[in-house]
Homo-oligomer: A and B are copies of this chain.
Amino acid sequence: MTDSQFSTWMRERQSATEAALDRILPGSHIAPQRLHDAMRYATLGGGKRVRPLLVFAAGELASAGPRALEHAACAVELIHAYSLVHDDMPCMDDDVLRRGKPTVHVEYDDATALLVGDALQTLAFQVIAEPGLMADSARQLEAVTLLARASGSRGMAGGQAIDLASVGQTISREALEVMHLHKTGALIRASVQLGALCGDVPPDALQALDRFGKAIGLLFQVVDDILDAEADTTTLGKTAGKDAANNKPTYVTLLGAPEAKRLAAELRAEARSHLAAFGDRAGRLTQLTDYIVDRSF
């Protein structure tokens, strides 16, 4: 697939995700209006939709149907959106800017932000568990539990807890990797798995895709750390340099920028190696891997 075909594919899937989220989120006119308005504010009209793109790319490789993929894509994006709303709150990272707009607790208030995150998480599970979404209901239950495990205390929320505990600490590269494999990696990895689960792939292919998902999960965070250190706030759409300001360990503070970039290159090569057996069918996943890296340098 040429770069231009890939760009078209990305835009189409981003639009499909946006349209599906718009349909799934209750309208701002439905009571309680302020909550629904804030849920839409937190979710719509922003973000690169990397996780949904991974769901679609893995799902299309697995010949999954469009409706199941759309729901799975929305579910991971709703989990991601909820985590951003809560992470930005004053008692966590206390951030005022996200996707180029004031964060939810700034635009609304802290109590609303708390409820927005709560309700977005609930909606994610409602969307992925919709009866009849997949022909095989037992497989769909596996998808629901996969999303729950990736999001909970031994996945994303757990990574956030490790992150909190590491503020101001000197931690090892291994500890940093454990944190990121949970905080960012778990949901990215789950996105790839969910896409594949929506379709039909043999167990060894599912395992290769999972290794790919784990590698790009870490890759995504290494690139994020480099961006946070090097890009400006306008480019990022969120406050740049905030990890350093918050005294948080990152790959850049731990390894230095040149070594962090070398690590990113290494992880990209590793990710691609897990796709080798799929040949051309993994073209979009390969290009998404490049996209994750090239948004920075």
- Contact mask for chain A residues 166-187; partner B; CB cutoff 8 A; 1 contact, 0 none: 0000000000000000000000
- Is the CB of A209 closer than 8 A to any CB of chain B? no
**Residue of B at shortest CB range from A152?**
B122
In the bound complex, what is the Cα–Cα distance between A164 and B115 (angstroms)?
Answer: 10
- Contact mask for chain A residues 144-156; partner B; CB cutoff 8 A; 1 contact, 0 none: 1100110111100
A150 → chain B closest CB, angstroms: 9
Contacts of A126 in B (CB 8 A): 145, 148-149, 152
Please choose the segment from A135-143, A199-207, A243-251, A252-260 that sits at the chain B interface, where 4 or more of its residues have CB less than 8 A away: A135-143
Which of B31, B32, B89 is within 8 Å of A114, CB to CB? B89
- Contact mask for chain A residues 83-125; partner B; CB cutoff 8 A; 1 contact, 0 none: 0001001011000000000000000011110110111011101
Contacts of A32 in B (CB 8 A): 153, 158, 161-162, 165
In the bound complex, what is the Cα–Cα distance between A178 and B30 (angstroms)?
Answer: 14
- Is the CB of A39 closer than 8 A to any CB of chain B? yes
In the bound complex, what is the Cα–Cα distance between A137 and B112 (angstroms)?
Answer: 35
Asked if A35 and B129 sit within 8 Å, CB to CB, the answer is no
In the bound complex, what is the Cα–Cα distance between A144 and B130 (angstroms)?
Answer: 8
A105 → chain B closest CB, angstroms: 8
**Residue of B at shortest CB range from A129?**
B144
**Residue of B at shortest CB range from A159?**
B32
In the bound complex, what is the Cα–Cα distance between A152 and B39 (angstroms)?
Answer: 11
Which of B34, B111, B148 is within 8 Å of A123, CB to CB? B148
- Is the CB of A17 closer than 8 A to any CB of chain B? no
Count of residues in A whose CB is under 8 Å from the partner chain: 51
Asked if B129 and A161 sit within 8 Å, CB to CB, the answer is no
Residues of chain A from 246 to 294 with CB closer than 8 A to chain B in the complex: none
In the bound complex, what is the Cα–Cα distance between A117 and B160 (angstroms)?
Answer: 13
Asked if A131 and B145 sit within 8 Å, CB to CB, the answer is yes
- A-B contact list, 15 entries, CB within 8 Å: A26-B154, A31-B158, A34-B161, A86-B114, A91-B114, A92-B111, A115-B160, A118-B121, A119-B157, A121-B121, A122-B148, A122-B151, A122-B157, A126-B148, A137-B138
Q: Which 3 A-B pairs have the closest CB atoms?
A: A137-B137, A126-B148, A91-B110
* Sample of 20 more A-B contacts, CB < 8 Å, known A89-B114, A121-B121, A129-B144: A30-B154, A32-B161, A32-B165, A34-B161, A35-B161, A36-B153, A86-B118, A115-B157, A117-B118, A118-B118, A118-B121, A118-B157, A119-B153, A123-B148, A123-B152, A125-B129, A129-B141, A129-B145, A131-B141, A137-B140
Please list the residues of chain A having a beta carbon within 8 angstroms of any beta carbon in chain B.
26, 30-32, 34-36, 39, 82, 86, 89, 91-92, 109-112, 114-115, 117-119, 121-123, 125-126, 129-132, 137-138, 140-142, 144-145, 148-149, 151-154, 157-158, 160-162, 164-165
